[in-house]
Structure 1
Amino acid sequence: MGKLSLDDGRVEQKLKTREKLLAVANTLLLQGKEISVELVAKEAGISKATAYRYFTGTSSLKREASLQLKAQTSDDLFAGISEKDLKARLNKLIDYHFDLFTKNETEFRLFLSSVISESIHPETGYSRAGRRIVLITEALKPLRKTLPPATFQRMVNALAVFFGIESVTVLKDLCQLDNKAVLETWRWAVHRIVFG
């Protein structure tokens, strides 16, 4: 997969397509219907071939759709927080991801295990564009106009390392940290990256 640029309209469109597929899958799951990639694609008005670029099979679609039901959009997450209050936006981003991963840790670890397995077969069209980048970009909105685009992009990329189950597994399994220490490490690192 090539380098993702935040200014690339194609990336934004890919995220929208993925979100649409997941939203339709969620709706069908909540209705108690058995889903498949083909059915979700048809209901979403997206070609089957395109849907398979995002989800290699029904199990990966179900797995990600069930996790997305627990996630928030950037509009929901930063509602009520000023676009100028960078510290509050960062703390909200940290708290949200920490709560999401620690309350659903087993499910996210299983998800990570399966996506790593899928990622070793690039010919399957593997793609893992999630909402992490969108949320980080939204949190950093106060810096968007003040930083050079390349610096802003590097900051988003650096923060992406923290806001995933991968970070939790490294800090818990390798560093032997408990939840409180994981959160403290996240806060320390994120604030150092953004505020220097």
Structure 2
Amino acid sequence: MTGQVLRETGSGRINQKKRTRAELLKTARKMIEDGMSFSVADVADASGISRATAYRYFSKPDDILREAALDAVAEQVQLSDEVSNNGTVEQRLDEMVGRIFRMVAENESVFRAFLAASVTDDQIPRTGRRLPWLSEALQPIEEKLSKPAYETLLAGLSLLTGIEAIIVLRDVCAMDIDRGEKVVRWSAQAMLAKALAEAE
């Protein structure tokens, strides 16, 4: 019982940290859209969050500016109306994986910086975007797969749709972005086909 309480408490704290980060980024984005220059303290004050707390998430304005701008770019990742309304799950996944890959590739230096920061002890967990995106693409087959099978597929696909995949493809395999994208999209379709075959 004590272990369960500790796990729930820990999970609650992580969720609170994510909400705090999201609120700071939301405020920063609004200030960017309004053409305002700002400090971390300015964003904290406008968010109703203590300055000390804000500085635990972002040590300097460049950090929050960069991530707020990236949030705006990430919001553009979505299925086209045609594929969303009429596409097969294969088409939905192919388009989504391609769009995520391109978004990460076009902002590679920023994502590499985020990954480097994630190994520090004081890194605050960020809300992952790739799982909701992939879930949207897989929505037509969610009920066809068992929960473990669906979660396995989602986890496998998540390995293909972040900066980690680009690092492997570019740094280890010496591929350019175009070829790397083909590998990622092929791999996603292979995972999907395997999951569907096992569900029959």
TM-score by length of 1: 0.74
Deviations 1:73-112 (CA, angstroms, capped at 9, x unpaired): 56xx13521387312211221221233233x2xx422432
Residue 176 of structure 1 and its aligned partner are, at CA, apart by 1.3
2:79 equivalent to 1:78: yes
Match of 1:3 in 2: none
Trace 1:33-182 onto structure 2 (pairs within 5 A). Answer: 33-45=36-48, 55=58, 58-72=61-75, 77-78=78-79, 80=81, 81-82=84-85, 85-102=88-105, 104=106, 107-112=107-112, 114-122=113-121, 124-182=122-180
Residue 193 of structure 1 and its aligned partner are, at CA, apart by 0.9
- Structure 1: give runs of 5+ residues left out of the alignment: 1-7
Corresponding letter in the other structure for 2:170: K
**Higher helix residue share:** 2
Change (3 A) 1:101 1:121: closer
User: Helix, strand or coil: the match of 1:70?
Assistant: helix
2:188 equivalent to 1:185: no
Match of 1:5 in 2: none
Determine if contact 2:169/2:175 at 8 Å carries over to the other structure. Answer: yes
Select the structure of larger CA radius of gyration. Answer: 2
Corresponding letter in the other structure for 2:178: K
CA distance in 1, matches of 2:46, 2:58: 15
Corresponding letter in the other structure for 2:90: K
Change (3 A) 1:133 1:79: same
CA distance in 2, matches of 1:73, 1:13: 26
Corresponding letter in the other structure for 2:29: N
How many residue pairs match? The answer is 182
| Superposed CA RMSD | 3.1
CA distance in 1, matches of 2:86, 2:24: 29
- Give 2:35's match in structure 1, choosing from 32, 37, 60: 32
Residue 190 of structure 1 and its aligned partner are, at CA, apart by 0.3
Corresponding letter in the other structure for 1:82: N
User: Helix, strand or coil: the match of 2:143?
Assistant: coil
User: Helix, strand or coil: the match of 1:129?
Assistant: coil
Change (3 A) 1:191 1:168: same
TM-score by length of 2: 0.72
Residue 130 of structure 1 and its aligned partner are, at CA, apart by 2.9
Larger deviation, residues 157-166 vs 14-23: 14-23
Task: Give the fraction of aligned pairs with identical amino acids, expressed as a percent.
Answer: 30
CA distance in 2, matches of 1:154, 1:35: 43
